[in-house]
């Protein structure tokens, strides 16, 4: 997973970058089952608004879809946590949708199958 950081008017230390990288890597685990060798690009943008609050925007680009989350709070860590939860919800929703479609396809195939009346089960 490639992570690019953009800090606008904010000084970031190693601890903050490690915290952000840890959260982004956790999001990468959702794609291991479907896309084992897929390259995932992550862009993290952190800036501060006029009121002194931190705005964090995180964008994940997978080969098939892009996920984006944004939040503004008093601390960088709080914003990162909120964005993590938002993206986790989006990814889980898409993953559940894929699973449901796959199961629905299997059910429709079973309905169309014709079983021989002489078969014993």
Percent of the chain with pLDDT over 70: 94
Which of 74-95 are b and which e, b meaning 16 or more Cβ less than 10 Å from the residue's Cβ? eebbebbbbbbebbbebbeebe
Alpha helix stretches (DSSP H) within the chain: 14-28, 76-112
User: In this model, does residue 31 exceed pLDDT 90?
Assistant: no
Quote the longest CA-to-CA distance of the chain: 78
pTM of the model: 0.81
Domains and CATH numbers, the chain: 2-112 (3.30.160.100)
* Region 81-110 average pLDDT: 90
């Amino acid at each position: 997973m490639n992570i690019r950081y953009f800090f606008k008017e904010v000084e970031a230390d190693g601890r903050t970058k490690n915290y952000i990288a840890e959260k982004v890597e956790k999001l990468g685990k959702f794609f291991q089952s479907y896309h084992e060798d897929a390259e995932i690009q992550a862009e993290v943008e952190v800036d501060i608004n006029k009121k002194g609050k931190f705005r964090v925007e995180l964008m994940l680009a997978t080969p098939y879809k892009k996920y984006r989350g944004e939040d503004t709070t008093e601390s960088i860590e709080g914003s990162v946590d909120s964005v993590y939860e938002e993206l986790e919800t989006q990814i889980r929703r898409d993953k559940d949708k894929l699973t449901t479609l796959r199961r629905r396809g299997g059910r429709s195939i079973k309905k169309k199958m014709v079983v021989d009346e002489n078969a014993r089960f």
